[in-house]
Amino acid sequence: MNDNVILEAAGLKTSFFVKRGGKRFELRAVDDVSFDLHRGEILGVVGETGCGKTTVGRSLVGLAKSSGGTVTFGGENILAVRQSRLRAIRLKVRMIFQDPYASLNPRRTIGDSVAEAGDIHNCFSDGKQRAEQIARTLDSVGLDPSFAGRFPHELSGGQRQRVGIARAILPTPDIVIADEPVSALDVSIQAQVLNLLMDLRKSLQLTIMFISHDLSVIGQISDRIAVMYLGRIVEMADAGELFSNPAHPYTQALIAAIPKPDPSSRISADVLRGEPPSRLELRDGCPYSDRCPISRDICLSQAPPLQTSAGGRLVACHFPGQACFLTKQESGG
> How does DSSP assign 128-185, residue by residue?
HHHHHHHHHHHHHTT--GGGGGS-GGGS-HHHHHHHHHHHHTSS--SEEEEESTTTTS
Q: What percentage of the chain's residues is helix, strand, coil (to nearest 5)?
A: 35, 25, 40
> How does DSSP assign 310-333, residue by residue?
GGG-EE--SSTT-----BHHHHT-
SS3 state of residue 208: strand
- The residue extents of the domains of the chain are 5-92+173-246
Question: Residue 265's pLDDT is what?
Answer: 57
The Cα–Cα gap between 171 and 159 comes to: 20
> Model confidence at 333, in pLDDT bands (50, 70, 90)?
very low
**Amino acid code (one letter) for 199:** D
The Cα–Cα gap between 329 and 191 comes to: 32
SS3 state of residue 223: coil
Question: Residue 312's pLDDT is what?
Answer: 78
SS3 state of residue 234: strand
pLDDT tens readout for residues 257-271: 887 776 655 554 455
The Cα–Cα gap between 163 and 106 comes to: 13
Question: Residue 260's pLDDT is what?
Answer: 72
Name the average pLDDT for the chain.
Answer: 89
Lowest mean pLDDT among 29-38, 106-115, 319-328: 319-328
Domain spanning 5-92+173-246: CATH superfamily: P-loop containing nucleotide triphosphate hydrolases (3.40.50.300)
pLDDT tens readout for residues 126-162: 999 999 999 999 999 999 999 999 999 999 999 999 9
Question: Residue 271's pLDDT is what?
Answer: 58
Lowest mean pLDDT among 71-80, 89-98, 183-192: 183-192
pLDDT tens readout for residues 153-207: 999 999 999 999 999 999 999 999 999 999 888 888 999 999 999 999 999 999 9
